[in-house]
Amino acid sequence: MDMQILDLEKTRFMHWHGYSVSDKVRTWETIGLGRCLSRKLLDKVGFSIWGEESINRGLDGLMTRKLASIGMIPLPYGEEVWADLGDGIYAFGHTGIYTSDIDGFALDVKSTENITPFENYHTSQFEEIEFTEKRLSSFIGGAAVEKLRNM
């Protein structure tokens, strides 16, 4: 539901809290980074999340609309509907968790080429994080930081 963003151009390190619950269109919507889809769901949509759409932006929203078309609307975590599908009991719902709920870390690296430029995010939903290579290394490891430095 949230992520950290490293803006290589301006050397900014931010925490984005995700889509605002005050945004009636995107309330409870997960972000694309880190979405996990079950095999059952992929079978249901013919392994075609975006269909025949010829797009290279707006992928989160298009996936959300595709899921909603089969009844999977964004819900708060814990409010999924559970169903016995014959081969097991499954949770049904478009839900997500925050990285802080699992002591996790999800990083989107922004450079000069992006699907969604940094400027397109609602900056009011950001929290600036003090950027140091040591801090970033603690999350993703020194080898990954070295690769980012060389980008």
- Residue pLDDT, tens place only, 54-108: 888 888 889 999 899 988 999 999 999 999 989 999 888 899 999 989 999 999 9
Does the pLDDT value for residue 45 go beyond 80? yes
Of 122 and 95, which is predicted with more confidence? 95
Residues 100-122, mean pLDDT to the nearest whole number: 84
**9-13 own/partner pairs: CB under 8 Å, 24+ apart:** 9/110, 9/111, 9/112, 9/118, 10/118, 11/131, 12/118, 12/128, 12/131, 13/128, 13/129, 13/130, 13/131, 13/135, 13/136
**What's the pLDDT score for residue 74?**
92
- pTM, 2 dp: 0.79
**What's the pLDDT score for residue 10?**
84
